[in-house]
Every structure is written in C-alpha cells, then in structure tokens.
Structure 1
Amino acid sequence: MPSMPSNKSDRRDATVPNDPSPAWRRRCATALIWYLRLVGAFNLVGALSYPLRERVNAHNNGNYYTPFLVTSGYVSAAFAIFFAVMLARKKRAGWIATMILLGGYSVLVIWSMYYPEYRDHLFNWLSLAITLSLLVLAVLSRREFYAKGDPANPRTALIVVGSGALWAVLLGVTLVPITNSLKGVSLIDSVTYTVGRIITLAPDSDFPLVHVPVWVDLFINLSALVMVLAVVYVLFRAPRGREMLHEEEEAKLRELLDKHGARDSLGYFALRRDKSVIFSPSGKAAVTYRVTGGVSLASADPIGDPEAWPGAIEQWLAEARSHAWVPGVVGASEEGGTVYSRFGFDALELGDEAVVEVDEFTLDGRAMRVIRQAYNRVKRAGYTTRIRRHEDIPSEEMDQLLRQADRWRDGETERGFSMALGRLGDDADGRCVMVECLDGEGRMRALLSFVPWGEEGLSLDLMRRDRESENGLVEFMVIDLLQRSKDAIAAKAGQGQKKKGKGRPNAADEAEQPAQEAVVEGDAPIVVRRVSLNFAMFRSVFERGSRLGAGPVLRLWRAVLVFFSRWWQIESLYRANAKFRPIWEPRFVLFEKSSMVPRIGLAYARAEGFLEVPSASALFGRRHQRALTSAEQPHKAVDAQEKVEV
C-alpha cells in the first residue's frame, strides 16, 4: 500500500510538545552524534591495530591530550558508540552523561594548559578546541534530547556497575598472580594493573612488576567491556510502559466498541488487559499498544470513530517520542493503514485474514467436495455441536471447559497479542460465543471460542481439540456454526415476512416452522452474518508462487516459507482457511523507517510469544505471579495436527 505524501519535519514538530526544533539545533545534535560514531569506530580500530594503539597511547602518556574519548580501547569505543546511539534516540539521560564527561574532560585539558610542557604543544590546543566545540554543540542542542528514561534506571545501573567492577577486579587479582612471569607482585600491584587494563589498553612499561600473557589483558578488558555495555543499557533503557488496562479504560473501550465495533474484526482484542491505551483528545477514539523492547507496538486499527483516529494516533506518537520508543503497528487493515500513512508510516503486507460471509457460504459444488466429504464423515461418526454465549454457560461447565482447554493446549508457550483475547471464561466477556463438539457418547472433544465483531459478526479467538479424536473436528464445528447461522438468518427473515402478512399463516409456513426451531437444537439462536477465521501469514506468496509463470524470486520465497512451515504452520494455516473459500482481507505491519523493521519484528515476535526473553526473576528461579490461567493465552492458529482427511 503506497504511503501518502507527508512532511516528516512538520509531523515531527507536531508530535514533540512545545518544541519548534529549528534546523540549526538539529544540525548541532547531528554533528555531536556523528563525532561520537566516528570516535567509536576509531577506538575500535585502534584496539585491534597494535601500531595505531601504540601511537595513541604515546600521546596520552606523554605531554599530549587526545580529543574527547579518543583512547583506542574497547571500553572507550563502547562508551562512544552507546552515547551516539542514546543521543540518536533523543535520550535526556544520554545527553546529561555526555555533558558530565565533556565538562570534566574540558576542565582537565584547560587545567593542564597552566603548565608549559602542555601549553607549548599545538596538538593540545587542537584537542582543547575540538573538546570545547563539542561542549558548545551539546549545550546548543540540549532541547533536542527530550526522551524520558525509567526512574529506576540509575539505581539499577549503580548495582550493575558495582557488581561488574567487583567481578572484573576479582578476575584480574586472580589471574595476574597466577600468570605473571615476574616475582614479587603484590596485591596492590595486581589491583592497579587490573584497573589500568579496565580503563585502557595501556603499555606494559607502566607496570614493571607485571608481565602476563596477552590473553589475560584481553580477557580483563573484554570483561570490563561487558560491564560497560550492561551499565549503559540499564542506564538508558526506555521505560517499559504500564502494560495494564484499567477498569475505567476498559469501560470506555467497550463503549467505543458498542458504537464502532463492527468496523474491525480485531477490535475486541483491544480489551486484552496486558495492553495500554491512549485516547484522542475528544475521547471518541483510542489506540491500544504494548511497549516491548523499546518498541511501542500498536495492534490493529484504532478503536472508535474514524474521524477521531488522527487525534488518537497523534497522542500515541507523542508519547512514544517522549520516551524514545520506536512506533510500530501490526495487523492494521487497509483503512487503518491509510490513516496511519498520513503520519509518515509505510506498510508491508503481513498476510490475509479469512472472512466468511454466511449468506454466501455453501457446501454445494465441486470446489467444496473435499470439505463436504470431511464434514459428512465426522457427522456420520456421531459428532454434534453445541453453540452458546459464554454468559449462558453455567459456572461449573465453564470451569470444566477451562480445564479441558488447558489440557489440550499445544505446548507450554502462551501466545497471543493482536488476534487473541488472552482470557477465557471472564465474566466481562459474556457475549463471546462458545462452540463445543461432542462425540457420540456426549463427551466434549473440541471447542472454539469467538469474540464479538459488532452485533452480527464473530472473530475466532481460541481453538482446542483432543488429539485422540477424529481429524477434521475444527472444520466440522466451523461449518456447523456457519450453517446454523444461515438457517437462523432465514428463520428470522421468515418471521419478519409473517409479521408483515395478514391473517393466519398458511400450511406451508406451519410445515416449515419445526425445521426453523430445530436449527439450534435447544440453544438460543445466534444470528451471525460474517465470521473471521484464522490469519494466514504471507498468503499471497503461497497462492501466487504456485501459479504457472511465477518468477524465480517468488518461487524461492515460497520454497523458504514451505521449509519453515514444518515448525511454524505457515502453509497449513493458509490451506486450512482456503477450504472455506473466504474473502481475503489484507493486514499490514506499519513502520516509519525501513531500519525500524527488524526491531518491530522482534517486538512483535516477543509480544505474540514466539520469542521468550528470560526475566531476572526467572533467571534466579522465581516465577511471576500470573493473573491469567494457562488456558487463557490462546493463539489464533490451527494446530499442526488438525488436518482434513481427503
């Protein structure tokens, strides 16, 4: 989907509160960032190149001062690169740390100029000029660095730096006496040598009593590098966000869904309680999102009145930029993507959603022969379905359904974010629809749960089945739901015609009435006109790649997806949906810059549960207290073993 033209500088100014951001200030910030990038690269090359490292060390240890952060060492390279990254992300904490280091180094160089041995060297004046120029650039561009940090970061960074420094010193004190080829090294000499190696790759001449192998120096310096990386990451990491939907916010979202929920089949999934929400100034629209790995990941289209969508998007973007979060959207429809494109977002097609129109669905025809035979086979085996609203299921039966869903779950990993509700049996979700499949002996062997899609639509949320049951149960349940819905619509239309007519119904109407009531077999009739099934990722690749005349690139891409489908059910989802001959509705992932796509992809994989990042409590053997049962985090996907026999 092409992006609409937009002025990105104007959009940026509008989303940063009270910040006109003149061009000269942006240039000052850019110059400072590029200096740090170049210095980081220079220090890294110097750490790897012995001649260059020796020349820089000769300057630093003689009557010379190199410019800011130029020391040819791994630690200084890490400092420069990380400061450049943090400043590029507009981190206020990064600017403060840079100012402290720049100011301290400037004072040191100025103080040294009072001594003739330093003042007489032109190189020192050049170094001072460069350092002071950087300080001026940092002061002039201070308002460019507005992104907030997590208040807990400094405390955590102090803990990391303390424990990391202690570990590095203990490592050096242990290795230096063991590997030292000279006699008489003391504990103080070992500590001094270790600290020197942590700070820089100083020459051996500075420590006449210590002569250790090169690998010891490298090991100590790399240990210090790891410590620095950990400290800088903890100090400048973005806030994680609330990741919690409050009761008042959920109530407001439900009001918006009552008015506009029919627009998007994924709208009801905005009620996941591990998402955050931000409303437009008018309160008529909202964007739901989760902050994962420094990415503010919005799901599907905004909720509410489309006229108010831009206001909600502006608020979401302003919050993301105030915390230096990367904004991204997954699962957006074409309508939502068009609105997002006005704010400078580009789009990539993520896949297609399968939507079945009940009025148009039929089992007749040669194209439906396979699924018709499968349906009849399961029906002959004695299986039946029961369709009810969640609110009509007694609590004892719902508890049993939860236990069964938990027992049938495929694996221990809980998945779901953009197309899964994340809970089952909650009292607030009474309008959801449960489809149960019973065998000939009345035992439940599979279940489907659908969330509302407006007044007359359903969107698939959860599917589970007993692996020892008949294959094709999911298809059987979906077809039964579609046929019963079609009959319920016909019955409703027939009743409307009779109300308009005059006199008593004729004999044909009376003969037709029992068949209409038998549609639900004792269940309350549920009128559904459209059903959203699974999401088929990269569907167009499978469809076009198998056609005659497909190009080599498309065929290669299809072959790669078929290979990975052995583990991730990519192709099986497409084929499971295609059997119903649905309407394919494209869904998109939206991003501002192509360089952001990998981060958004990783955040999406983590949000959906495909990538698990262990927390600190998990590493120390402690488990998080869970607000949801293990059956409450479904993934909108067909089990790999759920196939139709041909």
Structure 2
Amino acid sequence: MTVGTWRPRPPLSRAAVARLVQLNGVFNVVTAVLPAHHGRMAALAAFVPAAGILTARAATAAAGALLVYLGAGLRRGRLRAWQLAVVVAATAIGLHLVKGLDLVAAAVSGALLALLVAVRQEFNALPGPRSRWRAATALIGFAGAGFLLGLFEIAVRADHLIGTPGVRAWAEHAALGLIGVTGPVEFARPWAADTVSYTTGTFGLLAVLAAAVLYLRPGEPRPERTAVDESRLRHLLTRYGGGDSLGYFALRSDKALIWTPSGNAAVAYRVVRGVSLAAGDPIGAESAWPETIAAWLADGERHGWTPAVLGCGRAGAAAYARAGLDVIELGDEAVLDVGTFSLDGRAMRSVRQAVHRIRRAGYTCTAIRQRDLSPADLAAVVDAAVRFRDGDVERGFSMALSRLGDPADGDCLMVLAHDEDGRLRGLLQFVPWGADGISLDLMRGDRTAPNGLTELMVVTAVEAGPEFGIRRVSLNFAVLRSVFARAEQLGAGPVLRLWHRLLRLFSRVWQIESLYRANAKYLPMWQPRYLCFPTARDLPRIAVAALTAEAFLPARQVVTAQPALATR
C-alpha cells in the first residue's frame, strides 16, 4: 500500500472536538436533571402534554450519555462516530425546546452541530464492513422483543383495561412505549400501566444503545494472504530471520501483512477489538523498517484502529519509537547458548536431578526435523499433541505458530520423548530462528508422566544443537521478569514488594510467576521484550486486545484461519 502520514497523537482539532462533544454530553445530562423554569413549563404545557415533556427530558439525558460515549470514537477519527454525533446534536436542539423551552441549551447544541459540520474533514476512519447491518439487526431485534413483550403484558392484563381497546390499540401502545411515549390504552390500575411502560421503554433504550455500539465498532477484517505473500515472507525470513526469534511466527495464517513498495520489509499484524496488534520486530531489511512501519500506522489511522506492538526486541522498539510510539519493557525472553550450556554446577542441580530421574525410569528423547518424520510418525505426533492439550483452547499469538504437521514447516525441530514401552509421552516443536537458532513454539506432555519430562526434552534440544547447526535456543517469554528477580534481592523496596504481590495474585490465573521460574532454572540469558503503544490511555484496550489474541479472553468473532493442529 502507499505509505501515508501518521501522527502519534490525534490532531489538536480532532482531540479538542472530542472533548467538547463529551462536555456537551455532560451538559445535556445536567440540564435534563435540573428542574426547569416554572414559567416556561407553564407556557409549554399548553402545547406539549406532560408525558411528552417527561419523555423529552429522559431522551435529553440519554443523548448526553451517548455523546460522552461518542467522544472516544471521535478522538480516533471514526466517520460513524461523527455521523452519529451530528444526528444526536441536531436532535438535542429540539429536545431542549420540548423539555422546557431551554433556549440556552438548544443554542449550545446548535453551536456543537455547527462545529461538527465545520471539522468534517478530520473524521475519515473507515467503518467495519458489517457494522451497519449488525447495528440494524440489534435495533430491530431488541425493539421487536420489547414490542412483543409489551403486547403480551397488555394481553395478560386485558381485564384491567378501561374500555375495550382493540389489538391495534394494544400494538400502538407497545410501539409508542419503545420511545417513551404513553399510548392510547388506559389501565384501571396505575401499576399495570407502569409495568408496560418500564418494559417497553427499557427495551427501546437498550435497542438504541446496542445499535450505537455496534454501529461504531471498528471492523476486524479476515486476513487475506496469497501464495505470493507467503513466498515473499519466507524469503525475507531466510535472509533476515536471524534478527528476531519471533520472526517465524509471522507465518501464522491469522496475521495480515503490510509491505513496503519494494517488498523488502513487512509488518505482520491482526486486528483485535479495534487494536491493530503486531508482534515482534518487522520482517525484512532493517533499513526498510521505517517505511513499512509508517504504512502500517497509516493503515490503522485510515480504519480508526489503535496501533500496538507486542513483544518486539530492542531494535524493533527503537524503530517503533522513532515512528512516534511510546515504549515500555514488557518482560524478558529466555535464550540458551548451546555452546556454554551445561548441567554441571550447583545452580543446575534441580534440572540435572530431574533429567537423571526420568532417564532412570526408562524414558528416551530424540530430536528430528519435521521433514524427516514419516507420514505415519508425523500423524502420531499430531494425534498425541491433541490428546496432551490442556483444554479445547489453542493459546498463543506472539510466540505460537498454532499449527503442527504442515509440510511448509519442514524445518521445524521436533523433540519427542518416549517411555520405556516406546509410547510417545511428550513433544516440543521449535520453529527456525534464522540459520543457527530455534524458538520454542509448542510444548505438550502426558500429565501422567513422571516429573522431569519437560526438563528432559529441553536439555535434549540443547544437546542436539551442534548436530543441527544450532547455537541458540529461545524458550518461553517471562512477563515482567525483572519484578520477580528484583523482589527476591536484599533491600527490595515497598513499592517493588507490592508490585510483586500483585503479580503473584495474577499468576493464579495466568501463571506469570510459574512461567518465569520454569525458564529461570535453565540459567538463560535474558533478552528484554517491549510493548509499543500510542498513549497511556490506550493501554487498557490494548491489554484486552492482547489477552484476547493470546486466547486468555474470549474472542469477539472467529477469524477464519488454518486449523490449530492439522496435517495436510
């Protein structure tokens, strides 16, 4: 795509308009709550019924709340947010007049409407391709449910009605109740009328809010990658893949690609909950990184997506920082040096004992390239990986390939552990990391196997390194590793100890501490990994997107992708 211009902060006019819209929303809510001028209400009562005035006041408050919500979309330049804000501002002018002849409030809404029209050019982010139909479906669905439920409530209270209104009057009453207007049906008991009004009014408000949220939702396109894209990406990984251990994971089929015009570099990303989430460094020549980063950022700006990079290395973090993103350290990657790794010494005692114990139990372990496995053996490995998986969810995004047995991944190194009876009890898959490295992708083991199975497979991978020309082995990534390491040192301060306690609490759900300790026992070299983001206020939504991508939170929609574990 053509490289565009990206700005690390929203332009002043757009950010200011978003704040003004939100302030106007708060103002609308306040005016709806405050009592109206008595003289104006008396004059208005001659033209508007009391029910209409009360409905207008409630609608003004709802419009104000909607404007506050729209501010976030306006800040990101979304066209749909601007369109809806224009409609709400225009509607608010009439609502202020109907609810109490509030000329000042109506003038404020008119000024806001004029401002929105004047800055139309600032809001060009493209909407999602299906958000309009989803919004319409939600509006019709909730409104239809409220209408039918209101009709049913009138029917079951037919003996409490005044007169004999027909079904047509019932339907009119239920329909008007959706917009907060009293219908023609009269009830003998006030509580019955209130029940119908509350039910229909609640569903009507729910329909509008749900439609607004879906209407503003940014699109999450399914990545489209051609065979040419795949070939070009593999060529770049062959030439430049040694720079980043996460590079091979760009071959995941659920990641889209943004290329430089020359094809010398690409950013692999996935759109999750309105966040354009990249992982690792850009792929390709480092001199071409600024161009492809600019193209990725401009594409996110065009669609209203928040850019974020998960787990990039030092070089990638510097490149993204030069492009305008903020950078914080996210954690450390454990890397083993094959040439210096040894089981000797007191520090490696626990690993050494675990390996010796399971070997004495009759377990053996071998390392082999995937392409050297026979079709029958590969099918057995895939079947075992499915059986050993803990749960139905396939986790991983930044450091997981999420497939096993694909012929295109023939260079992956498989480490297979068998028991004394020759049964496969555990496996590791490492993806290539340049010409002389491997990066851990998949770790599966039989839960009934003795302790030490994982240690045996990791040690086997390192010991087999020279045979395969491997000099470095990347293990798992430890989030905020330095917090755990420093908290154990003498003199750790109260803030660090508090942070450590919080992380240990989170570890009960996400195994943060256990993953760090599982890596630390091999005495690896720790290489920092970073998180890149536009502003601090975007961090919560980025965190939700990252947890969703890594399958720790349920996804909003299923992206068509290659099966997690399959042979072709």
Query: For residues 14 and 38 of structure 2, what CA distance do their matches in structure 1 show?
Result: 37
1:498-522 Cα deviation digits (max 9, x unpaired): xxxxxxxxxxxxxxxxxxxxxxxxx
1:212 alignment partner, SS class: helix
TM-superposed deviation, 1:103 = 5.7
1:71 alignment partner, SS class: helix
Query: For residues 105 and 401 of structure 1, what CA distance do their matches in structure 2 show?
Result: 64
TM-superposed deviation, 1:263 = 0.5
- In structure 1, stretches of 5+ residues that fail to align are 1-11, 113-117, 489-524, 618-623, 633-646
1:470-503 Cα deviation digits (max 9, x unpaired): 2111111211222232xx3xxxxxxxxxxxxxxx
Matched, 1:274 2:263: no
1:15 alignment partner, SS class: coil
TM-superposed deviation, 1:364 = 1.6
2:429 alignment partner, SS class: strand
Q: After the TM superposition, which of the residue ranges 275-284 and 527-536 deviates more from structure 2?
A: 275-284
Matched, 1:315 2:295: yes
Number of the residue aligned with 1:92: 79
| Correspondence for 1:552 among 491, 494, 501 | 494
- In structure 2, stretches of 5+ residues that fail to align are none
Inter-CA distance 628–60: structure 2 relative to 1 (3 Å threshold): farther
Runs of 4+, deviation exceeding 6 Å: 52-60, 204-208
Q: After the TM superposition, which of the residue ranges 278-287 and 293-302 deviates more from structure 2?
A: 278-287
Inter-CA distance 93–559: structure 2 relative to 1 (3 Å threshold): closer
| Correspondence for 1:588 among 526, 530, 536 | 530
Number of the residue aligned with 1:15: 6
Q: Letter of the aligned partner of 1:544 in structure 2?
A: R
The answer on whether the counterparts of 1:385 and 1:438 sit within 8 Å (CA) in structure 2 is yes
1:277 alignment partner, SS class: strand
TM-superposed deviation, 1:13 = 9.0
| Correspondence for 1:160 among 138, 143, 148 | 138
Inter-CA distance 578–629: structure 2 relative to 1 (3 Å threshold): closer
Inter-CA distance 244–151: structure 2 relative to 1 (3 Å threshold): closer
Inter-CA distance 537–85: structure 2 relative to 1 (3 Å threshold): closer
TM-score (norm 1): 0.77
TM-superposed deviation, 1:59 = 8.3
The answer on whether the counterparts of 1:70 and 1:76 sit within 8 Å (CA) in structure 2 is no
| Correspondence for 2:149 among 171, 176, 188 | 171
TM-score (norm 2): 0.87
| Correspondence for 1:628 among 559, 563, 568 | 563
Number of the residue aligned with 1:521: none
Number of the residue aligned with 2:326: 346
Query: For residues 443 and 41 of structure 2, what CA distance do their matches in structure 1 show?
Result: 65
Inter-CA distance 449–13: structure 2 relative to 1 (3 Å threshold): closer
Inter-CA distance 33–391: structure 2 relative to 1 (3 Å threshold): same
Query: For residues 257 and 485 of structure 2, what CA distance do their matches in structure 1 show?
Result: 37
Inter-CA distance 152–560: structure 2 relative to 1 (3 Å threshold): closer
Matched, 1:138 2:116: yes
Number of the residue aligned with 1:329: 309
The answer on whether the counterparts of 2:412 and 2:429 sit within 8 Å (CA) in structure 1 is yes
Query: For residues 199 and 81 of structure 1, what CA distance do their matches in structure 2 show?
Result: 21
Equivalenced residue count is 555
The answer on whether the counterparts of 1:57 and 1:71 sit within 8 Å (CA) in structure 2 is no
Inter-CA distance 166–36: structure 2 relative to 1 (3 Å threshold): same
Query: For residues 217 and 607 of structure 1, what CA distance do their matches in structure 2 show?
Result: 42
Number of the residue aligned with 1:238: 218
Number of the residue aligned with 1:575: 517
1:260 alignment partner, SS class: helix
Among the aligned pairs, what percent are the same residue? 39
Q: After the TM superposition, which of the residue ranges 526-535 and 434-443 deviates more from structure 2?
A: 434-443
Q: Letter of the aligned partner of 1:31 in structure 2?
A: L
TM-superposed deviation, 1:547 = 2.2
TM-superposed deviation, 1:529 = 0.3
TM-superposed deviation, 1:81 = 3.4
Matched, 1:150 2:128: yes
1:62-96 Cα deviation digits (max 9, x unpaired): 669x9xx9733464345433443433332212323
Q: After the TM superposition, which of the residue ranges 208-217 and 560-569 deviates more from structure 2?
A: 208-217
